[in-house]
Structure 1
């Protein structure tokens, strides 16, 4: 990811900021986003672009002026408290960095803890952090309102530091143990920004020499996904500094090449999934950086001879609304799409969401009126709902200014669209309700289990093995030290062998199973997964699991759970981080287990209930079949360095957190075992008890070949066999998932091929005669019979997506 995720906590650097630049009576809204022109508001009019180019007459000078404003914030009204706080943040970061700088003339490095005379990966990381810290000081030097703004006494020190940075960067080798990312992306992006901010103080020959090195390592946009956008940014920024139109042509072409959907590998897929490193879901990591940097480049080139095509901006809007927004919950960007970044102390869910929100603000202001409302409404909702790390408190003046402007507008807050979304291209499903968001992370023969490169995410063992994530009003649940302290062998939703695997084991692995995916129908959904855990072990646990997402309840079924003799297996129902400030009682069948440490087993419990730390965060659990359940409450100690040993993220301090764990014990060497339980987010003990006494859900089938439930007028079924099977009025003889809802006058049907292997038509029988088709996906044809009907569904190249129809039964 971008080096801003790699910084140490007290070294935070503010880059990619939205800015305000006065141009001809209009305000150019810039930064992490696209420039828009609107009538100027009252306020300062003094430009802070480089003095020599404040009113540039060439295209390159105008681009440099705009870019300078992107970095520094332009004219800032310090009478606004939020603005002043943001400037103070820039100043504080620079003062912290400057206080520890080595004396002038020390050629071993600019900071004692970042020696530049090492070798291999250690030197590459030291060079990256050196560039970042120097950037933070240079940023304060160029930002009005800081104590360092245009300080003549600081100038010579910065120039000498830049020279040493370049000297060590110029000697960067191409050895395999020196990360290409630092050589081609992270250091060049810092170096070009530093050169811009110091451009008036640099001799032309020095500028050309520094940027010649950048060109030698990154001569053209390359790679794919976020990396393609970043390399295009490097080429564009270097070209702007040196007035090189041909290179800007090249950068524009590279950016436009990145801004389109792909059907395999890295980038944005047609369903809004974002993949990086070939088969890893990364919407919340590389995906948001892809969005942020793309928008920034589009903004930078807007109105110039290198402006990107308008359709590319529409692409970014679609990705923001349909790809990123579904993964945002009250200021958090959900962990199941953040890859190995969950193991980085500085990369919290809320920090990741702030990156997305900053891009959303810019996109919303540039968007045409007919599209502006949706994105603006989502952004306002996120701003108002995040009480953990309020967006208005971030150190980003332009973003805060835009947020305040949005809050003063008539735009109504609106959460991302509710219901179930299946992201089949990355084996992820998200189910959104007014009170909670529930996400499922799976893996298959297409999507890897988890990523653990560079010694990161070493305990991500089961985070893609049917892991479930419940987000409610406990906004700190998956932040605040969750990942280094949770028992990573017991991730909710998974069915796994007990015990701790070796660090990083089973990472990058693809399973020999394809039956993984889901189907959605409005606020209803279904996700299914055939599993082998771990995929590369002779002692693997196999079986099948399906989640039925029925509005405010989640029904979880497991079947065919099998393991070698002697291999202990459990299904993890819950592993919830508990508050250190608020008592959270836990009940089993109405009996209180108190709030202290405990480890208990229960035979055939009916229900359990955990009181949440805040209103709206209670959770109920109902067991629909007999099971042996273990419950424990314990305090756990962990370190970030336990799960991330990349030198860039070395945080060895101990953290202590309390957890409530709930597991179904399948015993040793189970042969075809099963489970069935229900999650009731937000439910009171009384509600859970009543549900258990008279469950509104009926299990129609729970076998390897067919898992199905009925609730009222809804039947949801996941067929896992090519044998003909019938359940709840649905007949199929292929691996297909189906939801049917019957109301007084309509029959709504949704169908998908979760295995993504059907390359032709299938036939689904319905126990209803259809009078007429109200609406239907072009892939569906209806063939009525005397008392039944057959749906002929073309699934060629459907890639696991849902096809649906609304029918009028006779």
Structure 2
């Protein structure tokens, strides 16, 4: 147990000792919290360098707190006017509902402390437009009234930290979720108290310290229903510990908090791990892909920690933050804003942009990213900040081109000159999504091979309340056969053969699927990302035991242009084409492929899918899907992103992409123009397929294990992976009438399992 006894910071100590004790709900030790008279701000055991370091971090922390606040200075006058003599704002302004009746997500009562924090920043100085409040006695007195109102009503049953609504913490207590009482409120309290340090009364210091230490004391404890703190939650609570240590000048807690921060900089290699993964993904809540929310919070925490600690004994070693995030960010060219791909937002897809949650914007301080990059001499951080600070002219923010497979979370990103396409899958190693606090109750299909393609960047903005949750873009679904509800949302996949292979420019995403709830639907699907902005999709081995129609969804997005359909004949093969919103599709023209298109107004309530209180969404949506009237018939289609009608028509007539095989055993294509093949061997013991390029002898490629590969005929370069992440090696044989080449390739293990290996054969 870390002692919290210490003189308070800075040199203005109370004239008498004030002491209380806080019993940890998880440990038997008692934590002493006391403020005692002292002639010095530091115990004699602290070295001069430690005193200097704490001073430096403290001053930087003050600037960091004020600098991170929004600019609501114009509201302060109204807040002062409406604050009651008891320190409470009217119920019409702040919803103080507590206990089980309170909204767990985005607890409305937090507004009380959010106002205190802004007022404390105004009193401290540095808040834009609030100079009149600097060291003003009226606002300082109002802050004390508001703090006292809260502290006098603070819960005393510490089981309510995380066991609200149970026998140990009945619904009548001031209780909400783990995040509220362990992270949200202590974070706001800590920042406010640090800003007011030196003017806090003894009682206020004790209340501040008690709130912070009961949060920090949850480290290394098994919290009921949650487990141990991990990932972004670790950093949030470490930040609370740092504020506590600065408030009380506790070197022990400060050192321990930074130790925990730096441990979180380590790459996590275990399956379903929370935190940074080897490929740049960020996991939370059992490894759900969450770069756009918890990962974003993680980065913001790290920025704050390391900028504040730069040049002190608490600074991290020069560590390069993984650059996975920049692949997941797209731009809205109409608004000039940056956003996270919806597939890395988890349940936060349930919020409209105006709510300023994870869907609202990037929510990263690029100036701080650049500052930390320069401090650490990190080229990747400097590049990250510089590229994303450019004017947004299309969805490909930062002008990053290429392909990247995030093998730890079954996620692929392909970025063209002016567009971004993402594919989100899940396997026996990962989870699909979650429904927490009533957010995202219909999100079961969000990782069923979901494909988003961003062009202008507004394609999917603010449509989730109104769209059809059984028609998630890119998925193959037995429509309506799975119950969509909060308790039927979060699942681990059944199949292990899910993943992909990438050479950095091209890639293949592959997914074998069995519905984990009903077990009634199964399929195999491949997404090929080729040169010249061509994408190709193969679907095979579909089985369904229900009477529900099976659809493969081309897209569901904003309806922005006319819809153009035509017939196409190339080399005697009849096809049909579809174009909408700068997306072109070439689809087979057979009796077994029926295309359905819907376009028009749709309405939905945000409150139905989450906790947003925004008005109903009325949006003009476009949706198109393939009806698999014959499940035994495999289907393949080609996509041209970011193309106008005329260009699409020309490209579709020049396509030289050949289907080699598309069945339950092998999915293979040959690109005649670039002389490369892309192959998936589905069977556990591998297989073989034969490719006959124009005017050349046939070549047979075989493997002894399930695998995904890209082979370039001119250079002999082979890029291969094991999506099942089970093989130690794969033997590849490339043969023709004249040659036979064999390669035995060791597959990556541990945290790198599923990643791609390149070899010349």
Q: Distance in 1 between matches of 2:397 and 2:439?
A: 36
- Counterpart check, 1:690 vs 2:650: yes
- Structure 2 counterpart of 1:286: 294
- Structure 2 counterpart of 1:157: 142
- Counterpart check, 1:756 vs 2:725: yes
Any stretches of 5+ residues in structure 2 without a counterpart?
1-40, 43-49, 166-175, 221-228, 332-337, 569-573, 692-699
> Secondary structure of 2:508's partner?
strand
Alpha-carbon contact 1:629-1:662 (below 8 Å) kept: yes
Structure 1's 104 and 679: CA in aligned 2 closer, same or farther, altered over 3 A? Answer: farther
- Structure 2 counterpart of 1:523: 505
- Counterpart check, 1:327 vs 2:328: yes
- Structure 1 counterpart of 2:680: 718
> Secondary structure of 1:764's partner?
strand
Q: CA deviation at 1:64?
A: 2.1
1:617-641 Cα shifts (integer Å, max 9, x gaps) = x111111453111111121111211
- Structure 1 counterpart of 2:66: 72
- Structure 2 counterpart of 1:209: 207
- Structure 2 counterpart of 1:704: 664
1:607 alignment partner, one of 571, 577, 602: 577
- Structure 1 counterpart of 2:713: 742
- Structure 2 counterpart of 1:361: 370
Alpha-carbon contact 1:266-1:277 (below 8 Å) kept: yes
- Structure 2 counterpart of 1:795: 747
1:292-320 Cα shifts (integer Å, max 9, x gaps) = 10221122222333x13314xx1xx332x
- Structure 2 counterpart of 1:478: 460
- Structure 1 counterpart of 2:102: 122
Q: Distance in 2 between matches of 1:97 and 1:466?
A: 48
1:428 alignment partner, one of 411, 429, 436: 411
Structure 1's 801 and 625: CA in aligned 2 closer, same or farther, altered over 3 A? Answer: farther
Q: Distance in 2 between matches of 1:796 and 1:197?
A: 50
1:714-755 Cα shifts (integer Å, max 9, x gaps) = 100111012532243321232100001123xx2211000011
> Secondary structure of 2:298's partner?
helix
Q: CA deviation at 1:198?
A: 1.6
Structure 1's 164 and 362: CA in aligned 2 closer, same or farther, altered over 3 A? Answer: farther
Q: Distance in 2 between matches of 1:355 and 1:98?
A: 31
> Secondary structure of 2:133's partner?
coil
Q: Distance in 2 between matches of 1:253 and 1:679?
A: 49
Alpha-carbon contact 1:335-1:349 (below 8 Å) kept: no
Q: CA deviation at 1:444?
A: 1.1
Q: Distance in 1 between matches of 2:356 and 2:512?
A: 32
- Structure 2 counterpart of 1:498: 479
Q: Distance in 2 between matches of 1:436 and 1:719?
A: 30
Alpha-carbon contact 1:115-1:123 (below 8 Å) kept: no
- Counterpart check, 1:643 vs 2:651: no
Task: Give the aligned length.
Answer: 656
Structure 1's 636 and 414: CA in aligned 2 closer, same or farther, altered over 3 A? Answer: closer
Q: Distance in 2 between matches of 1:505 and 1:571?
A: 25
- Counterpart check, 1:445 vs 2:428: yes
Alpha-carbon contact 2:463-2:557 (below 8 Å) kept: no
Structure 1's 303 and 105: CA in aligned 2 closer, same or farther, altered over 3 A? Answer: same
Alpha-carbon contact 2:686-2:706 (below 8 Å) kept: no
Q: Distance in 1 between matches of 2:233 and 2:499?
A: 28
How does 1:483-562 map onto structure 2 within 5 Å?
483-499=464-480, 501-504=483-486, 506-533=488-515, 535-538=516-519, 540-551=520-531, 552-562=533-543
2:252 alignment partner, one of 238, 242, 246: 246
- Structure 1 counterpart of 2:759: 805
Q: CA deviation at 1:693?
A: 3.5
Q: CA deviation at 1:438?
A: 0.6
How does 1:36-47 map onto structure 2 within 5 Å?
none
Q: CA deviation at 1:439?
A: 0.3
- Counterpart check, 1:572 vs 2:553: yes
2:599 alignment partner, one of 624, 629, 633: 633
> Secondary structure of 2:312's partner?
coil
How does 1:24-43 map onto structure 2 within 5 Å?
none
CA-based RMSD: 2.8
Alpha-carbon contact 1:221-1:254 (below 8 Å) kept: no
Structure 1's 349 and 620: CA in aligned 2 closer, same or farther, altered over 3 A? Answer: farther
How does 1:368-383 map onto structure 2 within 5 Å?
368=377, 371-372=378-379, 374-383=380-389
1:672-694 Cα shifts (integer Å, max 9, x gaps) = 34221111011222332234444
Q: Distance in 2 between matches of 1:348 and 1:623?
A: 38
Alpha-carbon contact 1:519-1:752 (below 8 Å) kept: yes
Using structure 1 for the length normalisation, give the TM-score: 0.76
- Structure 2 counterpart of 1:589: 566
Q: Distance in 1 between matches of 2:366 and 2:348?
A: 18
Structure 1's 301 and 169: CA in aligned 2 closer, same or farther, altered over 3 A? Answer: farther
Any stretches of 5+ residues in structure 1 without a counterpart?
1-51, 75-85, 390-412, 592-603, 613-617, 770-785
Q: CA deviation at 1:197?
A: 1.6
Q: Distance in 2 between matches of 1:57 and 1:106?
A: 36
- Structure 2 counterpart of 1:622: 586
Q: Distance in 2 between matches of 1:803 and 1:337?
A: 26
Q: CA deviation at 1:115?
A: 4.3
Using structure 2 for the length normalisation, give the TM-score: 0.81
Alpha-carbon contact 1:295-1:363 (below 8 Å) kept: yes
Q: CA deviation at 1:497?
A: 1.5
Alpha-carbon contact 1:349-1:478 (below 8 Å) kept: no
2:217 alignment partner, one of 216, 219, 230: 219
How does 1:381-392 map onto structure 2 within 5 Å?
381-386=387-392
Q: Distance in 1 between matches of 2:494 and 2:671?
A: 33
Q: Distance in 2 between matches of 1:59 and 1:564?
A: 66
2:447 alignment partner, one of 434, 452, 464: 464
